[in-house]
Amino acid sequence: MLIDSHAHIDDRRFDTDREKIIQNMENDGIDIILHPAVDLTSSVKAVNTAHKYDNIYAAVGFHPHSAKEMDEDSLEIIKSLAKKDKVIAIGEIGLDYHYDNSPRDIQRKWFKEQIRLAKELNMPFIVHDREAHGDILKIFKEENYKGMRGIIHCYSGSYEMAQEFIKLGFLISIAGPVTFRNASRAKEVVRKLPLDKLLIETDSPYLSPEPKRGRRNEPAYVRYVASEIAEIKNLTLDKIAETTSENFINFFNL
């Protein structure tokens, strides 16, 4: 059984068959889905979905695209939601310097505030990092505290940067792009990092792996990510499934 550590199953692209996908998780070989939020509305949806289904957990928070919508009141609501049953992380939070949908100074402000919330609640946090590796690492070092831990989701940086994140208490989550033919840097990261520092994810409905590229991604396709990692590391699919699932369960103390 596999664990999809990052799937946006509240996305409108699942509106026609969301229930079917969730009900078919066991048949698709998926044991658990972590449903991260991107804003206040999706935070509420994530919590409600986690409460409805035994095999779904939630994270709550504001994505950097939505940082411009944040204020102190919304931060307090996120804090309240984070205390609810089956909410296991703050996220996804971080920086996105590719689209810059929110001004960079606003992104940094609310990224720091949500890290501080995770510290206050003694929770891990899930990090979105797109073309912002240097500032992400700088903020981690500025905000560093005993017990800091989190996940760098859909990792796209170098092996050397991954090592720095791991030293600070983070796991590296690998998504569909590792299956792409030209993904030499992602494959190097997988090859060099120890398996006990890796998670797998889909980031559904985005970033579909080969051979589903160009279609809607979904949790069942996390198997393609696991298979690619197995091939890169010359291990069995069962070994990848077992270890990445153990990594997830141990990380979140489930």
Report how far residue 148's alpha carbon sits from residue 168's, in angstroms, rounded to the nearest whole number.
7
| Average pLDDT over all residues of the chain | 97
Q: Return the pLDDT at 144.
A: 94
Q: Identify any residues that bridge with 29 across adjacent strands, giving them in sequence order.
A: none
Local confidence band at 190 (pLDDT 50, 70, 90 cut-offs): very high
Q: What angle do CA 4, 179, 228 make, to 5 degrees?
A: 70
Integer Cα distance of 14 and 218 in angstroms: 9
**Percentage of the chain modeled with pLDDT above 70:** 100
pLDDT recorded at residue 71: 98
pLDDT of residue 188: 98
Interval 126-147 mean pLDDT: 96
Amino acid letter, residue 79: K
Contact 178, 210 (CB under 8 A): no
pLDDT bin (cut points 50, 70, 90) of residue 140 is very high
At residue 143's C-alpha, the angle toward residues 66 and 100, to 5°, is 25
Q: Mean pLDDT over residues 154-163, rounded? A: 96
Q: What is the CATH number of the domain that holds 52?
A: 3.20.20.140
% of the chain at pLDDT higher than 90: 100
0.95 surpassed by pTM: yes
d(CA 168, CA 162): 10
How many domains are contained in the chain?
1
- Cα separation, 235 vs 246, in Å, equals 16
- Whole-number pLDDT of residue 21: 96
Enclosing domain of residue 198 = 2-251
